Structure 1
Amino acid sequence: MLTTAITGLAFTSSSLLPFASGVRIFPNIDGSLSLQDSYDYIIVGAGIGGLVVANRLSENVSVSVLVIESGDLDDRAEDISIPGNIGLEDPRRYEVKLEMAPQEFLDGATRVFTQGKAVGGSTIVNGLVWTRGSAADFDAWEHLGNPGWGWMDLLPYFRKSENYSTQVDNKSTRDIPIASHPAINKHGHEGPIEVGYPNYFYNQSYNFLNGIQKLGIPATEDPNSGNATGACIVPSSMTAKNQSRSDARTAYLDPVLERPNLHLVTGHTVTHILHGEGSGRFPNSTYTHGVSGLNVTGVEFATNKTADRITSTCKKEVILAAGSIFSPVLLQISGIGPANLLRNLGVDVVVDLPGVGSNLQDHPTLEPVYDYASPDVFSAWDIVGSMRDTVREEYLANRTGPWTAPMVNAVALPVLSWITNRVQEVLDDAANATNDLPSSYDTTLRTGYAAQQAELLSLLTRTDTPVYEVMSTSWGQLAISAMKSFSRGTVLANSSSIFENSQPIINPRFCSHPVDCELLLLGLEFNDRLIQTPPMAALKPMPPPGFGIEEARNKTALDETMRRKITTGFHLSGTTSMLPLAYGGVVDPSLRVYGTRNLRVVDAGVIPLLPGAHIQAAIYAIGEKETGRRYHQGGKLGGSSWRKAMAWEVPRPTAGIT
């Protein structure tokens, strides 16, 4: 028996030890955790992808699973769990601050953003918005060389992940666009993630929806039906009954804490992916028989730069779920990535894979706040002092009131032809403008981008997928996000050590394709028309400096102001893209890393083309589909619960989705 003392905790390793007591989170009551010499599966990261895969794999009691997470368990405090507190949490608790490279196509300044660092990942701190995207967005994935990843293929897994409810207590007597009886073949009602609506709606949400409709954009009851366009009260990842956050931890980990074959290590960072040529120690360490390539044998991890390294080996696979920033960085410092970059880092090139860290995409976003000067307006900013005590008491007693309302209640998702009569001009600009791709892009990445651009141009002409999103908050923010971004960037390691890569080189290169800024300008012009509609004018909205009506008439000045304000939409994706090798891809349609036998990625990095939506729903579906693939290929992953879950997915819908 081998015992290694790490930061005062006792880790016991022995291949002869049975799994004794299920999941253990550091630190235990007794200060120890039993680890095996090896696991069937090692999962790096406990965000959406990691926890979905861990849950589904461990349904098979004969399969051993280890999850390694650098963050900790959150404390379920009010600033995390209550929708009305979104954005007010202390970012030092469960978030990591990251800095982007100077944005040369904007104003030359950097942008700082945060992402979740906890069990559950960013689902612990996100804005709860639950949108899937349009069918056409996912059909584009299939068109890019990913058979089995179109809308109809993903729909069962969207449904499998969600428990969708339209229950709304204390509903206003005014009509609100919520589908009271959503089509059963479009939504799930037995999945782990609770999806629902708040028990309170700010009046401003109605003004927004009515104003949007005055401009010819229709209301929609269900933005997740396959056609995401229109204006709506948006569903959230929250429980209808308790009116609290539903996240990856509460949905996929907490219910299975007693499984003896699932271990979770927190507060530890994976430092290296271990590998060997040929079959290595475990000759059967792959589900894809006959596949040649690098054999991954396990991982190395530690608490910090100076701590002793711990090694854990895998019998079957290592699954990366560290997110679109740190999964590619970990691949790069482990010798899998662009050869030139690896050599510059002093890392031996194990698999020359140019796409690792490239194809970075985001939804560039503007967040103007139009101050509502009407004295009748009540907003989240008014919940202070004694009012906060009153609102808190109502929430805790009845699960009603303003604290049930998340940051974003209402959204609009217009198509290009709804917001401008210059459609052909915009399409020509998108097709003909010079796009400054990163100099590091090789021929395959440029070929892949050309294929993506063709899909994007096709999507812009459609009337069932949005060109941008407008998000309305109670306090006057009308945030605009470009849903069809043509710009591409990179995520690059800056050192061979993961601990020196706490700030990798992150460069989304916003507006490196000029049409992205053109689309955001159209959004600002639309906002200007929106606030002049009678429903919105009743709020007496006052535009922020630089975005007023007079400024809107000076396109040059407005563009300059806009470029100073563009920031991330928190949807960074694509850095380990699911694309053919000839398109600069990193993983194949089974999410296996090219050039390896048993290494997969299951996080936002595999998204080949961003859908016109917030991306948490898509990542849950990706995780479900990855494990569902094993089931359909004849694996033994899961018993009655898996068979039951798959049963209600059949028959697949064959009509009614556009």
Structure 2
Amino acid sequence: MEIYDYIVVGAGSAGCVVASRLSEDPGVRVLLVEAGPDMNHLWVRMPAGAGKLFMNKQFNWAFDTEPVPTLGGRTVYWPRGKGLGGSSSINGMIYMRGQPSDFDQWAALGNDGWSWADVLPYFIRSEANQRGASEYHGGQGPLHVSDAAVTHPTADDFIAAAQQVGIQRSADLNGPPHEGVAYRQYTIRNGRRHTSYNAFIEPVRHRRNLTVRTGVRVTRVLLESGQATGIEVIDQGERRQIAAAREVILSGGALASPHLLMLSGIGDGAALHHHGIAATIESPGVGRDLQDHWFGSLAWRVTPESSYNHRLRGLHKYLEGIRYLLTGSGYLALGAAPVTAYARSEAGRPEADLQLTVSPMTFKFNASGNPVVDDFPAVSGSMVLLTPDSRGHLALKSPDPLQAPAFHPNYLSDPGDIRRSIAGLRLMRRIAEAAPLSSRIVNELVPGVSVTTNEQLLEHLKKNGNSGWHQVGTCRMGVDGQAVVDPRLRVRGVSRLRVIDASIMPRIVAGNTNAACIMIGEKGADMIRADAAPARAVSR
């Protein structure tokens, strides 16, 4: 039997960090195991290739939810990264940490050591910011964070229009005051996507004590006498076991980690029994507290110079490709929507709960799942509710580890989420109607000028809204009976087993989740080293 000190399951945003940091100690052996393939592909490296990866099942798990009653029975598509780098290899590359109040709230819920003051050093440690080191940013970390490769006058005008409606200009959305309107930063290095794998594993993959395996499907965690002893895997069609002398760390993300716990007999006993799985550890919170961001889309037809749609069609598309290959710049080097505003849906809100974005281009997916840029000048926008109170869950469909669980997101089930989302759509319209952005707009395409009442806007949110693809919370950290892991990310009721990924978030962060997942990986690795579980005796 293969034996390692630490086994990290999942080479995604957090897992790559954990494996890299643990393997800094040459005295321990670390295995990083990933179900997907290597992600060294043109569409992964090129930032604009994200659209090509959205439905690409080679690099994407391409999940679908169950029909969502609160959306009129719609199913919702959930892309998740499959391969080295996980979802950091297919996402929009946005580097946004969340608001300081997010982490202070985690601490207030009993999670000691997770306040903003506690986590900021880990954000800083991981980061090599293009703008250099400062009180709030790192300059020498593994993960490269950069400004947008090119700017556009329409994006500038969105910033100015947002200021006209009372949203202050910000120089840094990841620094004080953490609310305002500005250009975003991205996990892009020299025009190429910089994934968690590129940042944390690729430079150190030569370490003799670090083993990286791809194409290996983990089917369960092995448990013995109340402790994790290793994992069972399917590798090249064969089922076998790998031992962990110190700890097993699940970093599969908010969808895979709870699934693995359930398959291993950790979860709600009655639900597990229904599928013929013996409940080794009763943990009713596994798979519960599912949270995600829901967004409402907008689009406007604009004057010709106000959109770069024409630059991504016909001959111009190939010229942009040459520009990118020669310089690493241009519109193909951009991440998702370049500008955003963080604002409050209601005057009495204690923090920003809306993320409002604009991009000077529009596209649709064709029947084969490829993005096709529109053949007329247009601008797209979105309104994301950052602090939803709606909660969903995931559940086993089958004891077969290769069958995905059932996802029940329960979007817009909370009345306050509906009220605040509608307010966000109205605020986006106010920005579009404000100078100087208004001078560029010909007419509103989505949801359209005829959609004016709250009832109509809600119907738009239900029919045309979509997931922000930021699922968290399904192995929630806490000190109450429903918490799955404790504040040191140890699975409650089991020794030598932790979860370190987005699933541990008690509440979703008010921003994009990738940066927070990397921070969780940094902090989780430090906790493992500080706790220093002695190696148990393992017979080969």
- TM-score range (shorter-chain normalised) is over 0.9
Report sequence identity in percent. Answer: 29
Choose the corresponding residue for 2:358, options 447, 472, 476. 472
1:493-532 alignment runs, 5 A limit: 493-499=396-402, 501-502=403-404, 504-532=405-433
1:599 aligns with 497
Q: Report what 2:180 is aligned to.
A: 230
Specify the SS of the correspondent of 1:48. Answer: coil
2: distance between equivalents of 1:591 and 1:516? 29
Structure 1 match to 2:196 = 248
1:580 is aligned to 2:479: yes
Q: Deviations over 1:147-180 (max 9, x none)?
A: 00000000110001110113xxxxxxxxxxxxxx
After TM superposition, the structure 1 = structure 2 runs for residues 260-409 of structure 1, keeping only pairs within 5 Å, are 260-277=208-225, 294-303=226-235, 307-372=237-302, 374-380=303-309, 382-409=311-338
Amino acid across the alignment from 2:382 = A
SS at match of 1:538: helix
Deviation of 1:407 after TM superposition, in Å, equals 2.5
Moved more, 536-545 or 526-535: 536-545
2:417 corresponds to 1:485? no
- Alpha-carbon contact 1:135-1:226 (below 8 Å) kept: no
Structure 2: how far apart are the matches of 1:487 and 1:137?
A: 17
Aligned letter for 2:355? E
**Distance in 1, Cα, partners of 2:62 & 2:263:** 21
Amino acid at match of 2:145: V
**Normalization by structure 2: what TM-score?**
0.92
The 5 Å alignment of 1:131-170 reads 131-166=96-131
Find out whether 1:200 has 2:164 as its counterpart: no
Question: What residue in structure 1 maps to residue 454 of structure 2?
Answer: 555
Displacement of 1:269 in angstroms is 0.6
How many angstroms does 1:202 deviate by? Answer: 2.0
Instruction: Give, in whole Å, the separation in 2 of the partners of 1:212 and 1:319.
Output: 44
Deviation at 1:226, TM superposition (A): 4.8
2:436 match: 535
Residues in 2 aligned to 1:196 and 1:262: alpha-carbon distance in whole angstroms: 29
Secondary structure of residue in 2 paired with 1:480: strand
2:509 is aligned with 1:611? yes
In the alignment, the residues of structure 1 paired with residue 26 and residue 123 of structure 2 have an alpha-carbon distance, to the nearest angstrom, of 25
- Between the aligned partners of 1:381 and 1:150, the Cα distance in structure 2 is 46
Q: Following the alignment from structure 2 to structure 1, what is the Cα–Cα distance between the partners of residues 149 and 33?
A: 37
Number of aligned pairs?
517
- C-alpha contact (below 8 Å) 1:45/1:320 kept by paired residues: yes
Give the Cα separation in 2 of the matches to 1:38 and 1:365: 45
Give me the TM-score of the superposition, normalised by structure 1: 0.76
Distance 1:84 1:201, change over 3 A: farther
Provide structure 1 residue ranges, at least 5 long, that are not aligned to the other structure.
1-12, 14-36, 167-180, 278-293, 424-460, 637-658
Q: How far did residue 87 of structure 1 move?
A: 1.4
Shift in alpha-carbon separation, 1:64–1:338, aligned structure 2, 3 A = same
Q: Is the contact made by 2:310 and 2:316 (CA closer than 8 Å) also made in structure 1?
A: no
8 Å CA contact 2:295, 2:461 repeated in 1: no
Evaluate the alpha carbon distance shift between residue 400 and residue 130 of structure 1 in structure 2; reply closer, same or farther with a 3 A threshold: same
SS at match of 1:40: strand
Gapped regions of structure 2 (runs ≥ 5):
362-378, 535-540
Contact 2:93 2:188 survives alignment (8 Å): yes
How far has the Cα of 1:82 moved from its partner?
Answer: 1.9
Superposed CA RMSD = 1.9
Separation of aligned partners in 2, 1:102 and 1:360: 16
* Aligned amino acid, residue 387 of structure 2: K
Pairwise CA distance, 1:550: 3.6
Structure 1 residues 511, 260: CA separation in 2 closer, same or farther (over 3 Å shift)? same
Letter in 1 for 2:321: R
Provide the C-alpha distance between the structure 2 equivalents of 1:506 and 1:327, rounded to a whole number of angstroms.
13
User: Which 4+ runs in 1 deviate beyond 6 A?
Assistant: none
Q: Deviations over 1:347-368 (max 9, x none)?
A: 0010000100000001111222
Query: 1-side partners of 2:520 and 2:195: how far apart?
Result: 16
Measured in 2, the distance between the counterparts of 1:121 and 1:218 equals 35
- CA gap of 1:380–1:191, structure 2 versus 1, over 3 A, is farther
Aligned amino acid, residue 76 of structure 2: R
Q: Distance in 1 between matches of 2:145 and 2:282?
A: 42
> How far, CA to CA, are the matches of 1:326 and 1:405 in structure 2?
30
The residue number in structure 2 matching 1:84 is 48
Deviations 1:465-501 (A, max 9, x none): 31110121122221111011000010111111211x2
Instruction: For residues 177-218 of structure 1, give each alpha carbon's deviation from its aligned partner in whole angstroms, at most 9, with x where no partner exists.
Output: xxxx77x12111111110011231122211211111111111
Q: 1:211 aligns with which of 142, 161, 164?
A: 161
Deviation string 1:315-346 (CA, Å, 9 cap, x unpaired) is 00000011100110110011000111111111
Deviation at 1:560, TM superposition (A): 1.8
Q: Secondary structure at the match of 1:376?
A: helix
* Alignment partners' CA distance in 2, 1:224 and 1:70: 33
Q: Deviations over 1:74-124 (max 9, x none)?
A: 1231x2212233313361331111111211112221111211101100111
Partner of 2:468: helix, strand, or coil? coil
For 2:201, the aligned partner's letter is L
CA 1:262–1:382 in 2, change beyond 3 Å: closer, same or farther?
A: same
Tell me how far 1:617 sits from its aligned partner: 0.7
Contact 2:496 2:533 survives alignment (8 Å): no
Q: Which moved more, 1:390-399 or 1:253-262?
A: 390-399
Distance 1:401 1:219 in 2: 25
Distance 1:185 1:514 in 2: 39
Residue 288 of structure 1 is matched in structure 2 by none
CA deviation vs aligned residue, 1:33-62 (integer Å, no higher than 9, x gap)? xxxx21101111110111111001111111
Task: Give yes or no for contact 1:134–1:227 (8 Å, CA) kept in 2.
Answer: no
Deviations 1:420-460 (A, max 9, x none): xxx4xxxxxxxxxxxxxxxxxxxxxxxxxxxxxxxxxxxxx
